[in-house]
C-alpha cells in the first residue's frame, strides 16, 4: 500500500511546480488552472488552501497509522493493550476539526459573496444551451443594444474526426501548435477585455452547463429559468471550455470558446457584426393608474 | 452456550432443509440461505456493472471514438451506476446483514422470514427489466443514473421500464430494511442490550432507518417522472409551469442519504475487523455509534451540495456549504478512532485487515476530496468533472466495495467452514489496491485540468491520464476474477477447515457457533457474557 | 431440541417475537407510506420554501393592485431592467421585446411591449414562462399586467403586440442595480390540440 501511495504522492508534490496558467488544458496537467480572471485566481487559491489542509491532516493521520502498523505488529512481539477510551483525545479531535472548518469556511464565504455580485456590470450576454450548441445574444453593451445573436457549435474538422471509426487523427487538429480537438467552435463568443460582463444563462431543451475553466465557474443552463453570473477578463486571449451537464448524445461535442479582444478591437468587431443600428435605451414611465397620494 | 442451539454441523440431509436445489433456494426463508442468495446476486451484478465500466474505459482509452456510439456510451454510464448502486453494493450489504445480524444478536432467524424471501426474489426481476431496456427499440436510459429531466424523459418507452425497475428495487430495499429493523429491535437474545450490539449491527440499524425514510421519496420522484412522460402532468416540465430543478431537490433528498446507505454498513464492517486483527477493543464504541447517527442525521440536510451550480440563492448555497462541512466532524471521529484502535494493539495483517486498512486510507482520501467539493466557489470548478468521478469512486469502490471484500474474507470461513487461501487473498488485495489507485487517482488530475464527466471523447491533452486510468481499470477488473477464484476455492475445494473462532482476536456471538454456521442457530437464546461481546468496553 | 427450529418452532419466545415484529413492520410501513407522500409533498413545500424562506417568486400571478398602489416612487434610485425574450425551438413563433433595456425608478409603474408572430400555417397556443435574474430580486418585481398570466392563441401568421406593466418594489435590496426579466414561450400542445378539435368540429358542422 505504501508503494501504491508513493507514486501519487510524488505526483502531488509535482503539482507545486505547475503554476503556469493556460487557456487550454495541458498534457499531464495536474492542477486547476489559475485562469484569466481575478475570480478564477481566487478560486484556485481556495482550492489550494483546502488541498494543503487535506495534505497536512492526511500526513498526520496516515503517519500515526503507519507508525502503529510498524510498531504494534504481533510479529514484533507487540502485546495488545486493553484501553478503549479517552475523553481528552476524543474532545481534541472533535474540536480541532471544527476550528479548521471555520477557518476554511471564512474565505470561501467571502469569495462566494464576490462571485454572486453581478451588480455594476457593463455588458449583458444571454447564453442559451441547445442540443448540442450554444446561442449567444448580446443583450446590452454600455446601455446600447448591439443586436448581435449567433449560434456557436463544434467546428467541422473536429466534428468529422470525432465520428466513430473516422480514421482521422484527433492529434492533427491544432491551433498554434496546441490541440483544439473538441475544444474549438465555428463562431466564438467575443468579449471585450477589462469589462464586467454579466451572463444570463438558460437552455432550450434540456439542462446544459456553461463552463470555461479559465473564468473560474460554471453555471447550469436550465429550460425556463434564467441564472446570472459574471466575469471580467483583463487579458485578451482565447479561452476554451465545454458543456458540463450531461445533455444527451453529443454532450461531449458542444464546446465553448471565448475570445477576449482589447476593447477597441471588440467595438470594431461589434460594428462589423451588427446588422441594425443600436437603439438608445429610454424609459417609458406611465402615470400610475391609481396615483398614491402625496 | 451456543452448541445447545445447534443440532448439526454440516450442510447435509439431516438439516431439515427443503429437498431439491430449486425448491431450497427459491422458497427458502432461512436467513443464511437468503444472505447467500443476496451475496451471489451482488457478485454477479458487480461483474455485470464492471463489464460496462470496462466498455467505458476501453472507449476512453484514447481520444476519438473507436468502439461505441455516444448513445451507447451514455447507456453504459447510466446503467453501470444503477447496477453498481442498486444491484451490487446495496444487495451485498443486505446479504451481509441477513447472514450476520441474527448471528451477532443471537436470533434464530430474521423477524419476517417470508418477506425476506420476497425482498430477495424481486431483485432478479427488477434487474432483468432494467437490463432488458438495452435491447429495446429506442435504446435504454441515457440520461445518467440521476435521471434529471427533461433529458431523462427524452428516451422512448424504455423510460417506463427503468422506472418500474427502480420501483421494484426500492420495494426490495424497503422490505429488507423493515426486516432488519424488526429483527434488531425484537429478536435480540436476552441481555443483548442495544448498547452492547456489535457495531456492524448498529450501523445496519441506522442504515435501515435511512432506507425506509428515503427510498419512498425516490419512488415518488420517479413516479412524477413517469406521469410527466406518459400522463401529461408538468411537475418538472418548464413549458407546463413545472420546474426541472425541483426534481434535483427531490432526487438528492433521496440521493444524499442513499450515499450514506452505501457507506454506513462499511463503517460497521471496518469497525469489526480492525479490533479483531489489532487484538484490542474498538476505541470509543459509543462515540462510533453517535458518529454514525449524526452522519445519518446530517445526510438529510445537505442534499443540495450536489447541485451548487443550478443557481441557488446565496443564502441556500452558504447554508448547504456549512452543513456539508459539518459532516467532516463525525467522519473524522470515526477515522481517528480506527487509527487509535490500532495504537498499542498487536496487529497481524491477514487479507480482511489489509482491505480494512486500505479502506481507512483510501476512504479518507475520498473524504478529503469531499471536503474540497463542499467549498462552493471551488465546487463551481469541480462540479461535473472527473474530479467528482474520482471522489465518488474513492468512497464507493475503495470505500464500500473494499469493505464488502474485507467482510467476505472475514466471514467466509464462518459461512462455508473452510479457510480461503491467504496467499491468493493477499495477491487479490495487492492487485486490487494498486490497480484501483492507477484507475482512479489520475482522474483527479483530469477533472482539475478541465475534463467534464460523462463524455465519450476528449481533447488530446487529456489522453495520457485517460490511458493510465484505463490500464488501471482493466487491471482492476481482471483482479476481481481472482476474488471469484479465491471464493470458489474456499467454498468447494479448500481442505483447510476453519475453527469455531476462526480469528484469534475475534469477539462476538457469531464466533461462538461452529464453522460453517449450521442451518439453524440460536434456537435457544445464548447466554450473553459481556467479555465476549462486540469489541470493547460497552460502558463507553 | 432435535426437531425443526427457528421460525417453524412455536416456543413462547418465537411467538412473542413474531407478534412484536408485525407491530414494528406496521410502524415501519407507516413511515414508508409517509415518506412516499412526503416525496409528493415536496412539490408544494418547494414552492413555499422558495417564496417564503429564500425569497424567490415562482408563481407568475398578477401583483396585488392595492399593494402596488401603496408604493412610492423612489426618484433617487435608477434600476436597469433588461428584457430577454426566447421561444422554445418546438414553437414556430417569433418573439421579441421592443426595448431590450430600460431604466426605471423603483415604485414607478412602467409599461413595455413585446411582439409575437406565429410563423406557421396553423393556429397555436403558447404559454410564456417568466423568470427573473437575480432570483433574489424576483419578489420585488411586481407585474400588474402580463401576457404570461394567460394562454396566448395566435392564428396562422398572426402578430400580436402584448404589454407588460410592472413596478419594481422600492424595497429592492440596494445591491441590485440590474434586473433581467426573461420570457420563454412554449407551445401548449394540450390547448393547441383542443383548438384543433374545436375548429375541426366547427368545419364538420359547416360541411353538413
**Nearest residue in A to C86, CA atom:** A204
Q: Identify the pLDDT of residue A118.
A: 84
Q: Residue B160 corresponds to which cell in the numbers above? A: 417506463
Q: Is C134 on the interface with A (CB under 8 A)?
A: yes
Q: Where are the domains of chain C?
A: 11-54, 65-195
Q: Class of the C65-195 domain?
A: mainly beta
pLDDT above 70: residue B305: yes
Pairing of strands C178-187, C79-87: parallel
Give the burial class of B46: count Cβ atoms within 10 A of its Cβ; 0-12 exposed, 13-18 middle, 19 or more buried: buried
CATH code for residues A123-273: 2.60.40.420
Phi, psi of B7 (to 5 degrees): -115, -5
Contact indicator for B122, B168 with CB cutoff of 8 Å = yes
Nearest to B277 by CA among B182, B353, B218: B353
pLDDT above 60: residue A3: no
Q: Identify the pLDDT of residue B301.
A: 95
Cα separation, B240 vs C187, whole angstroms = 9
Nearest to B150 by CA among A204, C57, A152: A204
pLDDT above 90: residue A144: no
Contact indicator for C125, C152 with CB cutoff of 8 Å = yes
Question: Highest mean pLDDT: which of A17-21, A281-285, C78-82?
Answer: C78-82
Q: Identify the pLDDT of residue A289.
A: 38
Quick check: C13 and B253 CB within 8 A?
Answer: no
Contact indicator for B228, B235 with CB cutoff of 8 Å = yes
Among B164-168, C35-39, C68-72, name the one with the lowest average pLDDT: C68-72
pLDDT above 90: residue B324: yes
* Helical (H) or strand (E) element with A107: helix A87-116
pLDDT above 50: residue B5: no
Nearest CB among C13, C36, C60 relative to B220 is that of C36
Suggest the residue from B143, B344, B460, B506 to mutate for an interface test with chain A (most A CBs closer than 10 A): B460
Quick check: B112 and C188 CB within 8 A?
Answer: no
Give me the residues paired with residue C102 across strands. C81
Q: Is C4 on the interface with B (CB under 8 A)?
A: yes
pLDDT tens digits for range B448-479 = 999 999 999 999 999 999 999 999 999 999 99
Residues of A whose CB is below 8 A from C178 = 118-119, 121, 124, 198
- Which residues between 244 and 283 in chain B have a beta carbon less than 8 angstroms from any beta carbon of chain C? 246, 249-250, 253-254
Name residues whose C-beta falls within 8 Å of residue B430's C-beta, 6 or more positions apart in sequence: none
**Nearest residue in A to B384, CA atom:** A244
Q: Is A20 on the interface with B (CB under 8 A)?
A: no
User: Nearest-CA distance from C176 to chain A in Å?
Assistant: 6
Q: Is A292 on the interface with C (CB under 8 A)?
A: yes
Cα separation, B359 vs B322, whole angstroms = 26
pLDDT above 80: residue C20: no
pTM of the model: 0.90
pLDDT band at residue B20 using 50, 70 and 90 as cut-offs: confident
Cα separation, A64 vs A80, whole angstroms = 17
pLDDT above 60: residue B7: no
The SS3 assignment for C181 reads strand
Among A146-160, B343-357, C179-193, name the one with the lowest average pLDDT: C179-193
User: Nearest-CA distance from C88 to chain A in Å?
Assistant: 6
Nearest to B37 by CA among B126, B108, B122, B101: B122
Q: Is A202 on the interface with C (CB under 8 A)?
A: yes
Quick check: A31 and B448 CB within 8 A?
Answer: yes
Segments of chain A assigned E as strands: 123-130, 133-141, 149-152, 174-175, 178-179, 189-192, 197-203, 208-212, 217-221, 227-231, 237-243, 255-261
CATH code for residues A2-16+31-77+85-116: 1.10.287.90
Residues in chain C: 208
Residues of B belonging to the active site? 80, 109, 145, 172-173, 256, 258, 260, 271, 305-306, 331, 334, 453
Q: Identify the pLDDT of residue C133.
A: 83
Q: Which CATH architecture has domain B2-532?
A: Up-down Bundle (1.20)
Name residues whose C-beta falls within 8 Å of residue C120's C-beta, 6 or more positions apart in sequence: C92, C93, C156
Q: Identify the pLDDT of residue B357.
A: 97
Cα separation, C183 vs A225, whole angstroms = 9
Contact indicator for B515, B264 with CB cutoff of 8 Å = no
Quick check: C99 and A137 CB within 8 A?
Answer: no
Q: Residue B438 corresponds to which cell in the numbers above? A: 492507477
Question: CA distances (Å), A150 to each of A219, A253, A272, B126, B162, in order?
Answer: 20, 18, 14, 46, 38
Q: Cβ–Cβ contacts within 10 Å for residue A249, how many?
A: 17
Q: Identify the pLDDT of residue B539.
A: 59
Suggest the residue from B374, B381, B426 to mutate for an interface test with chain A (most A CBs closer than 10 A): B381
Q: Cβ–Cβ contacts within 10 Å for residue C155, how many?
A: 12
Peptide bond into B396 cis (omega under 30): no
Q: Is A131 on the interface with C (CB under 8 A)?
A: no
Q: Is A93 on the interface with B (CB under 8 A)?
A: yes
Taking each helix axis as running N to C, give the angle between helix B314-326 and helix B328-342, from 0 to 180 degrees, rounded to the nearest 10.
10
Segments of chain A assigned to CATH 1.10.287.90: 2-16+31-77+85-116
Segments of chain A assigned to CATH 2.60.40.420: 123-273
pLDDT above 60: residue B112: yes
Quick check: A200 and C112 CB within 8 A?
Answer: no
pLDDT band at residue A7 using 50, 70 and 90 as cut-offs: low
Nearest CB among B109, B186, B250 relative to C7 is that of B109
Q: Is A287 on the interface with B (CB under 8 A)?
A: no
Residues B150-175 have a mean pLDDT of 93
Contact indicator for B428, B351 with CB cutoff of 8 Å = yes
* Helical (H) or strand (E) element with C64: none
pLDDT band at residue C134 using 50, 70 and 90 as cut-offs: confident
Cα separation, B408 vs B483, whole angstroms = 10
pLDDT above 50: residue C178: yes
Residues of C whose CB is below 8 A from A202 = 86, 131, 182, 184
Alpha-carbon dihedral of residues B103, B108, B110, B116, nearest 10 degrees?
A: 110
Cα separation, C12 vs A142, whole angstroms = 85
Sheet holding A123-130, edge to edge: A149-152, A133-141, A123-130, A197-203, A227-231
Nearest CB among C99, C103, C131 relative to A226 is that of C131
**Nearest residue in A to B281, CA atom:** A84
Phi-psi region of C9 (alpha: psi -120 to 50; beta: other; left: phi over 0): beta
**Nearest residue in C to B183, CA atom:** C21
Amino acid at each position: 500500500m505504501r508503494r501504491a501511495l508513493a507514486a501519487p504522492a510524488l505526483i502531488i508534490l509535482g503539482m507545486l511546480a505547475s503554476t503556469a496558467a493556460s487557456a487550454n488544458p495541458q498534457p499531464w496537467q495536474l492542477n486547476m488552472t489559475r485562469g484569466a480572471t481575478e475570480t478564477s485566481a481566487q478560486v484556485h487559491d481556495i482550492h489550494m488552501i483546502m488541498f494543503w489542509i487535506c495534505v497536512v491532516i492526511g500526513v498526520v493521520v496516515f503517519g500515526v497509522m503507519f507508525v502503529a502498523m510498524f510498531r504494534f505488529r504481533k510479529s514484533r512481539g507487540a502485546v495488545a493493550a486493553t484501553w478503549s477510551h479517552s475523553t481528552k483525545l476524543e474532545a481534541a479531535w472533535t474540536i480541532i476539526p471544527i476550528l479548521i472548518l471555520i477557518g476554511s469556511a471564512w474565505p470561501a464565504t467571502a469569495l462566494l459573496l464576490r462571485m454572486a455580485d453581478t451588480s455594476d456590470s457593463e455588458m449583458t450576454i444571454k447564453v442559451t444551451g441547445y442540443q448540442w450548441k450554444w446561442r449567444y445574444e448580446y443583450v446590452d453593451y454600455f446601455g446600447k443594444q448591439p443586436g448581435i445573436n449567433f449560434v456557436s457549435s463544434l467546428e467541422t474538422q473536429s466534428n468529422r474526426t470525432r465520428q466513430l471509426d473516422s480514421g482521422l487523427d484527433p492529434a492533427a487538429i491544432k491551433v498554434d501548435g496546441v490541440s483544439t480537438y473538441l475544444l474549438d467552435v465555428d463562431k466564438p463568443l467575443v468579449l471585450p477585455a477589462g469589462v464586467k460582463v454579466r451572463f444570463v444563462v438558460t437552455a432550450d431543451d434540456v439542462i446544459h452547463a456553461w463552463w470555461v475553466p479559465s473564468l473560474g465557474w460554471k453555471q447550469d443552463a436550465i429550460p425556463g429559468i434564467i441564472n446570472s453570473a459574471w466575469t471580467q477578463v483583463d487579458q485578451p486571449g482565447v479561452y476554451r471550455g465545454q458543456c458540463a451537464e450531461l445533455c444527451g448524445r453529443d454532450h461531449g461535442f458542444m464546446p465553448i470558446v471565448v475570445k477576449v479582444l482589447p476593447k477597441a478591437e471588440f467595438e470594431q468587431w461589434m460594428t462589423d457584426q451588427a446588422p441594425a443600428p443600436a437603439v438608445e435605451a429610454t424609459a417609458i414611465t406611465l402615470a400610475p393608474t391609481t396615483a398614491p397620494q402625496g | 452456550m451456543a452448541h445447545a442451539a445447534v443440532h448439526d454441523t454440516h450442510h447435509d440431509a439431516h438439516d431439515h432443509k427443503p429437498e431439491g436445489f430449486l425448491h431450497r433456494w427459491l422458497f427458502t426463508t432461512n436467513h443464511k440461505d437468503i444472505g447467500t442468495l443476496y451475496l451471489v446476486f451482488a457478485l454477479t451484478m458487480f461483474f455485470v456493472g464492471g463489464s460496462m465500466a470496462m466498455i467505458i474505459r476501453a472507449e476512453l482509452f484514447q481520444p476519438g471514438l473507436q468502439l461505441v456510439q455516444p448513445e451507447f456510451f451514455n447507456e453504459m454510464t447510466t446503467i453501470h451506476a444503477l447496477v453498481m448502486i442498486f444491484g451490487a453494493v446495496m444487495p451485498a450489504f443486505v446479504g451481509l446483514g441477513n447472514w450476520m445480524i441474527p448471528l451477532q444478536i443471537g436470533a434464530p432467524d430474521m423477524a419476517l422470514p417470508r418477506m425476506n424471501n420476497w425482498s430477495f426474489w424481486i431483485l432478479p426481476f427488477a434487474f432483468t427489466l432494467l437490463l432488458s431496456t438495452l435491447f429495446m427499440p429506442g435504446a435504454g436510459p441515457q440520461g445518467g443514473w440521476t435521471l434529471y429531466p427533461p433529458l431523462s424523459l427524452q428516451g422512448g418507452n424504455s423510460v417506463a421500464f427503468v422506472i418500474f425497475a427502480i420501483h421494484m428495487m426500492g420495494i426490495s430495499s424497503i422490505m429488507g430494511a423493515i426486516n432488519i429493523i424488526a429483527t434488531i429491535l425484537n429478536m435480540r437474545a436476552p441481555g443483548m442490550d442495544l448498547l452492547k450490539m456489535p457495531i456492524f449491527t448498529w450501523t445496519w440499524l441506522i442504515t435501515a432507518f435511512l432506507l425506509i425514510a428515503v427510498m419512498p421519496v425516490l419512488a415518488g420522484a420517479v413516479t412524477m417522472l413517469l406521469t410527466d412522460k406518459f400522463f401529461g402532468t408538468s411537475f418538472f416540465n418548464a413549458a407546463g409551469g413545472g420546474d426541472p430543478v425541483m426534481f434535483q431537490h427531490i432526487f438528492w433528498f433521496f440521493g444524499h442519504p442513499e450515499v450514506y446507505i452505501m457507506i454506513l454498513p462499511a463503517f460497521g464492517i471496518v469497525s469489526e475487523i480492525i479490533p479483531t486483527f489489532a487484538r484490542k477493543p474498538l476505541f470509543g464504541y459509543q462515540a462510533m455509534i453517535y458518529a454514525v447517527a449524526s452522519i445519518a442525521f446530517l445526510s438529510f440536510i445537505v442534499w443540495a451540495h450536489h447541485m451548487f451550480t443550478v443557481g441557488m440563492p446565496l443564502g441556500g448555497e452558504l447554508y448547504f456549504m456549512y452543513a456539508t462541512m459539518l459532516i467532516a466532524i463525525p467522519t473524522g471521529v470515526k477515522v481517528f478512532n480506527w487509527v487509535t484502535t490500532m495504537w498499542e494493539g498487536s496487529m497481524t495483517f491477514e487479507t480482511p485487515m489489509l482491505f480494512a486498512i486500505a479502506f481507512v486510507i483510501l476512504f479518507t482520501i475520498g473524504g478529503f476530496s469531499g471536503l474540497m467539493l463542499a467549498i462552493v466557489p471551488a465546487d463551481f470548478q469541480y462540479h461535473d468533472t472527473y474530479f467528482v468521478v474520482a471522489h465518488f469512486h474513492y468512497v464507493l469502490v475503495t470505500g464500500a466495495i473494499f469493505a464488502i471484500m474485507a467482510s467476505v474474507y472475514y466471514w467466509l470461513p464462518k459461512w462455508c467452514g473452510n479457510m480461503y487461501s491467504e496467499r491468493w487473498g493477499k495477491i487479490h488485495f495487492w492487485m486490487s489496491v494498486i490497480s484501483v489507485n492507477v484507475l482512479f487517482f489520475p482522474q483527479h488530475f483530469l477533472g482539475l485540468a478541465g475534463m467534464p464527466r460523462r463524455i465519450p471523447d476528449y481533447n488530446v491533452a487529456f489522453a495520457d491520464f485517460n490511458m493510465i486510468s484505463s490500464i488501471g481499470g482493466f487491471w482492476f477488473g481482471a483482479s476481481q476474477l481472482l476474488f471469484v477464484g479465491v471464493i470458489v476455492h474456499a467454498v468447494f475445494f479448500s481442505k483447510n477447515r476453519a475453527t469455531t473462532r476462526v480469528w484469534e482476536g475475534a469477539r462476538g456471538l457469531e464466533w461462538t457457533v461452529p464453522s460453517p454456521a449450521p442451518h439453524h442457530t440460536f434456537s435457544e437464546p445464548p447466554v450473553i457474557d459481556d467479555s465476549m461481546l462486540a469489541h470493547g468496553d460497552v460502558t463507553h | 431440541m432435535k426437531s425443526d427450529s427457528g421460525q417453524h418452532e412455536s416456543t413462547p419466545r418465537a411467538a412473542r417475537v413474531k407478534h412484536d415484529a408485525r407491530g414494528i413492520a406496521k410502524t415501519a410501513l407507516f413511515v414508508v407510506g409517509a415518506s412516499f407522500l412526503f416525496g409528493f409533498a415536496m412539490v408544494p413545500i418547494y414552492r413555499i420554501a422558495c417564496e417564503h424562506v429564500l425569497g424567490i417568486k415562482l408563481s407568475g400571478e398578477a401583483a396585488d393592485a392595492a399593494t402596488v398602489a401603496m408604493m412610492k416612487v423612489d426618484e433617487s434610485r435608477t434600476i436597469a431592467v433588461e428584457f430577454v425574450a426566447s421561444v422554445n425551438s418546438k414553437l414556430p413563433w417569433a418573439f421579441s421585446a421592443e426595448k431590450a433595456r430600460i431604466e426605471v425608478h423603483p415604485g414607478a409603474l412602467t409599461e413595455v411591449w413585446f411582439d409575437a408572430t406565429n410563423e406557421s400555417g396553423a393556429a397555436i397556443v403558447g404559454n410564456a414562462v417568466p423568470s427573473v435574474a437575480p432570483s433574489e430580486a424576483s419578489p420585488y418585481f411586481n407585474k400588474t399586467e402580463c401576457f404570461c398570466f394567460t394562454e396566448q392563441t395566435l392564428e396562422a401568421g398572426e402578430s400580436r403586440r402584448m404589454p407588460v406593466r410592472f413596478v419594481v418594489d422600492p424595497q429592492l435590496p440596494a445591491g441590485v442595480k440590474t434586473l433581467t426579466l426573461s420570457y420563454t414561450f412554449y407551445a401548449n400542445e394540450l390547448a393547441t390540440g383542443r383548438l384543433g378539435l374545436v375548429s375541426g368540429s366547427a368545419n364538420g358542422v359547416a360541411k353538413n
